[in-house]
Amino acid sequence: MAEKKYDLIVVGAGIAGLGVGAIAAKEGKQKVLVLDRFPKVGGRMMSYEGYPAKGWRVDIGLHLVELGEQASCTELNERVGKKIEWGPFSKTVDIWNGEKFMDVAQLVPMTREEKIAFRDLLGKIAMLSEAEIEEWDNRSLEEWMNENVPQPAVRELLTDLGMIMTTIPHAIDMAAGEVLWIAKHNLLKVRQALQASYPIDGMEGITRGLAEVIRENGGEIRLNCDVQEIVIRDKKAVGVRVPSMKHVYQEEFRMYETEFIAADRVVCALPIYKLSQIIDFNPGTSPLPRWWVKRIEDIQHEVTGLIGFVFGTKEPLIDPEKKVFYSALKLKHSGFPFQACPVSNFSPDVAPAGKQLFHTDIVVEHEQASDKFERERLLALMWEDMKEMFPGLEEKLEWRLPYYVDGCDGLARQPGLVGNFKPALQAPGIPNLYFAGDTYIGRGLAINGAAQSSMRCADLILRDLKK
């Protein structure tokens, strides 16, 4: 057994793991250890300063954060005494119609009566109770519209907004409860169905303060540490196994000698599609019940993938004053939904003066994101689409960085995979093993879903400490 013991070990240093660790260290006065296999904190929100040259700051992938200063990630930071500096809100969403970008409101022409109907519909959504929304977590947006939205133009506009919220192109596949919940909370807070912002410091501006709180309150963050197992004995999580030394073999040949680190409680802040790498899922030996393992295995790949480019231009590709999010329901060449944002228009700190930084992606399924050759094929097709959408792109391009993310927004926002249908925040039968992140119970888009999950998880731990 290890000589050193912690009150709480957190596996994963994304926003969820850092959030749980920060609250436990500050409010619960817990001795916290956060472990992560990457060389820096942030998870899918990592930022890189000075790439490809001084003056640039790039994130992994495309990020705008719904609600900005009123977001769940802001609430999480403020709870532990940290502040996020936000850029302005996006003023509109421009959608590609096959020939040009159009404001989403212009894309769906409405009569005066239809505009009134849409306004009344938003008022109805804003007044929905949490219980009424939960009733639709297992049903589609199309079904909800069949019962509540008779006007075709209003249905089309709501479907467009739902696609942006869920990254799912068809209303029959969108969980109505999640679309309604996101729309309701945006309407109540900013009086629009969807509004987003970007941190001045990039994604690191959201996670940096949480890491500081952990260290300021006596906690530790150990990076480059690939946790091998959450150790469970006699229906209790007792700690983790981590590599005891570096391994000379390449990754596919490694089996580590390990050391044990003990803890009273363990939080797994890895997404569900990583669980079988650190928890025994063998039906004959797993410490967790078979029904739970089966449920995780059944839904672990119900995730969205991103394939795209982060790129910088020598001069602005679009008006630097335009605060806009770009989208398309389906591109001509690649055939998938598209998203883009000129993040330097929201933050002057992420690109050198006079230049422009773009984050872009196409939204794909796990099958495409996990296949190396399919990723490369789609990436080349996406570039052909982008040359048509952004004239002058290749002439103004200074550099580009291709990337992919297999599992960008947690579980897909499909019926039966949102709200309380997500995996719970405590392991069944193992009361001191907790989970946090955007693939577990929590509401809101991506980063906010993970932040909300982390606060709920931390509150469970604080409650259990009082028992």
Whether pTM > 0.75 for this model: the answer is yes
Which residue ranges does the chain devote to CATH 3.30.519.10?
303-411
> Is the CB of residue 411 less than 8 Å from the CB of residue 421?
no
Supply the DSSP symbol for 151: -
Q: CA dist 182 to 48, 125, 133, 202, 337, Å?
A: 30, 10, 10, 23, 20
End-to-end, the C-alpha distance of the chain in Å comes to 27
Q: Are 164 and 66 in contact (CB under 8 A)?
A: no
Domain 5-61+204-301+414-465 has CATH 3.40.50.720: no
CATH topology for 303-411 is Guanine Nucleotide Dissociation Inhibitor; domain 2 (3.30.519)
Q: CATH 1.10.405 in the chain, residues?
A: 92-194
Q: Which among 84, 90, 79, 181 has a CA at the least distance from the CA of 132?
A: 181
- The domain made up of 92-194 has a fold known as Guanine Nucleotide Dissociation Inhibitor; domain 1 (1.10.405)
Written as tens digits, the pLDDT of the chain (467 aa) is: 445 799 999 999 999 999 999 999 999 999 999 999 999 999 999 999 998 999 999 999 899 999 999 999 999 999 999 999 999 988 778 999 999 999 877 878 889 999 999 999 999 999 999 999 999 999 999 999 999 999 999 999 899 889 888 888 899 999 999 999 999 999 999 888 888 999 999 999 999 999 999 999 999 999 999 999 999 999 999 999 999 999 999 988 999 999 999 999 999 999 999 999 999 999 899 999 999 999 999 999 999 899 999 999 999 999 999 999 999 989 999 999 999 999 999 999 999 999 999 999 999 999 999 999 999 999 999 999 999 999 999 999 999 999 999 988 889 999 999 999 999 999 999 999 999 999 999 998 889 999 999 999 999 999 999 98
* CATH 3.50.50.60 domain extents, the chain: 5-61+204-301+414-465
- Give Cα separations from 120 to 126, 133, 173 (angstroms): 10, 17, 25
Pairing of strands 220-222, 32-35: parallel
